[in-house]
Amino acid sequence: MAISRRKFINMLTVGSTACLALLSPITSWAAWASDAFNATSPDDAYKNLFGSTDTVDSDEVKLKVPKIAENGGAVPVSVKTNLKDVESITIFVKDNPQPLTATFQISAKTIPDISTRIRLAQTSTVTAVIKADGKLYSKSQEVKVTIGGCGG
């Protein structure tokens, strides 16, 4: 039996959907928040990641970052909190081309105390946002940079 043109196209679509279905677990495994990471303004990144820009300034968010960084390419940051039911810890650099820097999912067993090193393109405000019990708490600090970490 010869395969009609329509049938052939149908086969193609079914085949490729099956391929996609097979591939998607690998890509979605990451579930990387691409829209939020690619956002170029802090507000867009907030909206994409949390669905809201409403954050409450809180001293419960303990952000440790130097006031002056000689090298913007590697600025040590640590964030911790005593808040209960922490869901995530997120770091934003306001004046970077892509403000969302890193987001950490905190499970029931993870202790909400993380450290990393980040890049600052220029002097900017660094903000840590902690999502706890469905609410967003934040703390910001300005970091002065003498040599930028992004760009050529």
Partner 1 sequence: MKVKAKAKNNITSVRVLAKHPMETGRRIDKESGEKIPAKYIQELTCEHEGNVVFVAQLGTSVSKNPYLAFSFEGGKKGDALQLRWNDNTGDVAKVEAKIK
Q: What is the biggest distance separating any 2 CA atoms in the chain, rounded to whole angstroms?
A: 76
Does 151 engage in binding with partner 1 (CB under 8 A)? yes
Does 28 engage in binding with partner 1 (CB under 8 A)? no
25: left (phi over 0), alpha (psi -120 to 50) or beta: alpha
Segment near partner 1 (CB under 8 A); pick from 11-19, 62-70, 94-102, 131-139: 94-102
Does 75 engage in binding with partner 1 (CB under 8 A)? yes
User: Segment 115-134, which members bind partner 1 (CB under 8 A)?
Assistant: 115-120
Does 48 engage in binding with partner 1 (CB under 8 A)? no
Structure tokens belonging to residue 15: 């085949």
Question: CA–CA separation, 139 vs 130, rounded Å?
Answer: 9
C-alpha closest to that of 103 among 28, 50, 55: 50
Binding site for partner 1 (CB under 8 A): 29-30, 32-33, 37, 73-75, 78, 93, 96-105, 107, 109-111, 113-120, 149-152
